[in-house]
Structure formats: structure tokens, C-alpha cells
Amino acid sequence: MRREFDRLREGPFDLLVVGGGIYGAWTACDAALRGLRVALVERTDWAAGTSSASSKLFHGGLRYLERFQLGFVRTSLRERRLLLDLAPHQVRPLEFHLPVYRGDRPGPMLLGLGVGLYRLLGGRDGGGRARLAREEALAATGFLRPDGLRGALRYRDALADDARFTLEVADAAQRAGAVTVNHAEALGLLRGGGRVRGAVVRDAGGGATVEVVAAATATCTGAWTVDLLRGVDGLAGTLRRSKGTHLVLPALGLPHALLLRAPRDGRVFFLIPWYGRTLVGTTDTPFDGDPDAARPTAEDAGYLLEAANRFRADGAWRAEDVIARFAGVRVLQDDGAGTSYETTREFAIREPLPGLLVPVGGKLTSARADAARLVDRVMRELGRPAGACPTAARPLPWRPEGSFGPWLSRAVAAGMEHGLDPEAAACAARRHGARVGEIHRLVAGRPALAARAHPDLPFCRAEIVQAAAAEMVRTLDDLLRRRVPLAILARPDRAWMEPAAALAGETLGWDAARRETEIRALGSLFEPPP
């Protein structure tokens, strides 16, 4: 991937997309594939906002059935199915167990119907029997609190690395011809003739500014939309934001995830196996501050630990067991619901000014389909035929050709021949897909790169070198939170941070002083919560 800030001067563009989360990436990709001249600018890094702070699920959202949002769930499940095909290296099936206890509300009958309907809507679920008897549920999840347990319900969804997925979609946009630039902030909209005509964009690296002129502008700025468009009529008071926190805890040794209900308020939360750790989340609290300042609080952590520990019979997690934590902010349509948890996640497009399109709401899962609707509107705005949506039938660029299962086995075997341990070989294959040969070549040339970047985590050092060389990395934060997410999965420790900075520095030309600055900047992210 190339970062070419100066190409932003090549306007006028047909479409300027502001914001490089999953919505911006899919929008730019779809529009470029439909033949538009597209520029995509991201203030910090690809997926630096909410798109790296999600629960990592490609799912319909079983809980939305409780609110009878059938269409919403069906769309997401259709997308889940599609992306399992278009990006099987990134999006993988994950089984969920929903333990059922005496006295639960909704009761077992309704829950069973809900899971049955969910599996039906999902089609091709392949998740085996829907009901597990009590003893089966206990055997499958050894630590479950047994008293009151009646059994478990079972269904399938899918899991990915959200930041990596977004990076691949941004790469797809670039390959389709879009000019894609991270660390480039839109400072304000350009206006003329009663229309929005693009934006003023500043290069975070050199500080240069450029007027990026475009016939249409889409602000895919998620939680930052409220600030970027403050003062634009028709938006104020129609959006609401909520924050969600996840905790990273040690592995529970489960191949499946759990869907549980917090005893304190009945909200649904998950225990999800991710890169050898357990993600516990999420909270859902109203948020009205600066999204850059959104941090997990001690209260968030207390809520999640209390909720998770209610289901454990093998000893409770304590605050000091928390390895890491992260928070993201959603922007939602304000539908007047009593709580942010109940507020609709449905996607909508606002057009508060001619030439300006503002997406609101949505999900990681449905972002491709939602972006297609957005690009349809752009085509109409430009007076061009919308045509068929190109992303619906196009594998992501790193998708290996042919049948995925056999390819994965071959790629893992090849990685092991080059000296990677089996877990690291599988991890590299999934994360790099068809490009995994580049990791193998790096290791062949320098065998020390086969070692893990952190002893507990499955990323080899070659992944760090590859990211620095070819994945538009500018800072250690880009590298270690989104390309190779050590900083999300491990406690801060110079023992792994310094070698990682040194490896990246070889490619990025960082001297000792710069490496130290980068390590300190990254370290500040680990400060204890307020």
C-alpha cells in the first residue's frame, strides 16, 4: 500500500470520502470500482476509531430479535454469509453457546424460538444441534456455574480482526484506483455555489494543507461526525453517541464464544476467544465528549468483571487479571429510545447540504451493504447510472484462490517449513491470505524473524517487518495497535516494545531518539483508567 499525499492535489475528484474506518474504506472501494475518481482521507490511521474497538463479530445480533428488528438481522446475516465467502482468510465461523439458567428472562421457550429463528435467517449455519443438555453444556464450557443451569443453546456467527479487515478493504480501494491517504485530516468543508465542494485536508506528517475538490463528499467519520459537522443544519439533535468498553483477559481455553446476560441490568455481553486471549464486552453507556478522549473507566471494568464472574465456577477474575482494555464510540440515530443499549443500530444516510452525504449508524458486519447504498446515492447526485454494486461479488484482494480449507493447510505447512511454530504459521496465513508468501520469504532471508514478537501471542517478527514495509505504517501506534495488535493483547513491557520498535525502525528509518518517542507515545495508552 502506498501513501501519496500529493496525489490529493490531482482533483477535482468525483467523491471525497472523509474517514478511514470500515464505512469509509468500503465506500471508497465501491465508488472506485464503479469508475469514480475517489479520494479517501483518514485523520490518523486506518480503523483507528471504532473500527478497531468493536467486538470483532460479523453477526446478525441475536439480541436485536428481541426488538423484532427482523430486516436488520437478516441483512447482517446475509452479509456475514457473503463475507465468509469473499474473505474466508479474515472472517471465520465461530460457535456461540448461550447458557440457560432457571429463572432467566426471557425464558427457555422464547430463547429457543429466538435462536431457532436466528439460525433459520442465517441459512447454511452448519452449527450442529441447537440445544445442549445441562451435562453437555457443562462439558463444553468447563468453568460454567452449575447451580440453576438447565442447558445451553448453540448457534454460529463469525469473527475477524476488525482493524486488519478494514486495512484490506482500504487496500482494495487503492487497488481499484482510489487515492487513499492516512494521517491526513479534513479540517473543514469547502463550499461554493450553495454546495459542498470537498474539504481542506492537512498532512499530519509535513503539515501541508491542500484543498481537495470533489463533486460529492461523504463524511464517514463515525463518532467524530458530530464535531466535524457542528453548525450544519439538520443534524444537531438527531444523533446520539454511546461508548462500549472491552476487557482483554487470559485465555479460557474455549473453542467457542459465550453469549451471557449481565445480572445487574439484563444486558447481553460476550466472552470471545481472540488471538489466544478472551475478550469480555461490551458496556454501552451514553457518551457526549470528545471521542479521542473515550477511555475505559474503572467502573466499566468493574461492571464487566462482575458480570463475567457470575458465570464462573472456577474462580473469579480480579482487576489485576485484566491484561488490557479498549473503548469505542458508536454514533447512532436518535430514535428516542430510553437507553443507548436500546437505540437502533440501523443505518441511515443524511444529506444536510447539497453535495454532502452523512452516513449514520450501522455495523462492521453490514458496512459493505450500507456503503453500497451510499454510493448509489452518490451516483444519483452525480447524475450517473448507479449500475450493479461491484463489491457484492468481488473477493477481497488477499483472498487466496480456490478452496480455502486446503489452501490454509498448505500455507500452514509452508510456514512451518520456514521455521514458524504452528500457531504463528496459521495466524500469518489468515492475516495475510494470498500474500503470506511475503512473510515466508522474509523468514527465509532472515530466520530470526520466525520468532514470536511476544511469547504469548501468535505473531511472528516477520509480520512486523512486513507491516512496516508494505502496510502504510507511520507510527508505532499504527503498527502495534492495528497492524499487529500486541498493544491490545499484552501488558506494556519494554521487553517486547523495544525489539518491535527496532524492527520497524530498520525499515522506517527511525533513529534511537525517534524509537524512544514512539515507545513513550504508545506507553501512554496503557495508563490506568480514571
Which residues are near ligand FAD by CB under 6 A? 18-24, 41-44, 47-51, 53-57, 59, 185-186, 220-224, 228, 244, 282, 328-330, 362-365
Q: Which is nearer to ligand FAD, 369 or 427 (CB)?
A: 369
Which residue, 262 or 416, has its beta carbon nearer to ligand FAD? 262
How many residues are present in the chain? 530
For the CA atoms of the chain, what is the radius of gyration?
23
C-beta closer to ligand FAD: residue 151 or 485: 485
CA–CA distance, 246 with 255 (Å, rounded to integer): 19
Is the Cβ of residue 22 or residue 115 nearer to ligand FAD in the bound state? 22
Residue among 24 and 99 whose Cβ is closer to ligand FAD: 24
Phi-psi region of 529 (alpha: psi -120 to 50; beta: other; left: phi over 0): beta
Task: Choose among 485, 145, 74: nearest CA to 315.
Answer: 145
Among residues 277, 200, 261, which one has the least CA distance to residue 269? 261
Helices then strands, each counted (H, E), the chain: 16, 18
Q: How far is the CB of 419 from ligand FAD (least distance, A)?
A: 34
CA distance 257 to 251: 11
Least separation in angstroms between residue 270's CB and ligand FAD is 8
β 356-360/209-219 pair status: parallel
Our CA angle for 226, 231, 235, nearest 5°, is 55
Supply angle C-alpha 482, 28, 408, rounded to 5: 50
Choice between 100 and 186, CB closer to ligand FAD: 186
CB of 463 to ligand FAD, least distance (A): 22
Residue 443 phi, psi (nearest 5): -70, -35
State the number of CA atoms in the 13 A half-sphere of 126 facing the CB. 8
DSSP state of 9: G
Annotate 56-94 with DSSP letters as a single string.
-EE---GGGGGGT-HHHHHHHHHHHHHHHHH-TTT-EEE
Decide if 311 contacts 205 (C-beta within 8 A).
no
Q: Which is nearer to ligand FAD, 287 or 311 (CB)?
A: 287
Shortest CB 501 distance to ligand FAD, Å = 23
Minimum CB distance to ligand FAD, residue 136 (Å): 27
Give the burial class of 20: count Cβ atoms within 10 A of its Cβ; 0-12 exposed, 13-18 middle, 19 or more buried: buried
Say how many CA atoms lie within 13 Å of 500 toward its Cβ: 31
Q: Judging by DSSP bridges, how do beta strands 149-159 and 131-133 pair with one another?
A: antiparallel
Q: Report, in Å, the least distance between residue 118 CB and ligand FAD.
A: 15
Could you please report the per-residue DSSP string of 337-379? -SSTTTS----EEEEEETTEEEEE---TTTHHHHHHHHHHHHH
| Least distance CB 80 / ligand FAD (angstroms) | 9
Q: Is the CB of 290 or the CB of 498 nearer to ligand FAD?
A: 290
CB of 45 to ligand FAD, least distance (A): 7
In the complex, what is the shortest distance from the CB of residue 47 to ligand FAD, in angstroms, rounded to a whole number?
6
In the complex, least distance from residue 177 CB atom to ligand FAD, rounded to whole angstroms: 20
Residue nearer to ligand FAD on the CB measure, 293 or 513: 293
Amino acid at 333: Q
Give 119 or 363: the residue with its C-beta nearer to ligand FAD.
Answer: 363
Amino acid at 292: D
What φ, ψ does residue 466 adopt, rounded to 5°? -65, -45
Smallest gap from Cβ 187 to ligand FAD, in A, equals 7
Choose between 59 and 430: whose C-beta lies nearer to ligand FAD. 59
Smaller CB separation from ligand FAD, 24 or 122: 24
Cα(341)–Cα(286) distance, rounded to whole angstroms? 9
In angstroms, the CA 183 to CA 170 distance is: 14
In the complex, minimum distance from the CB of residue 279 to ligand FAD, in angstroms, rounded to a whole number: 10
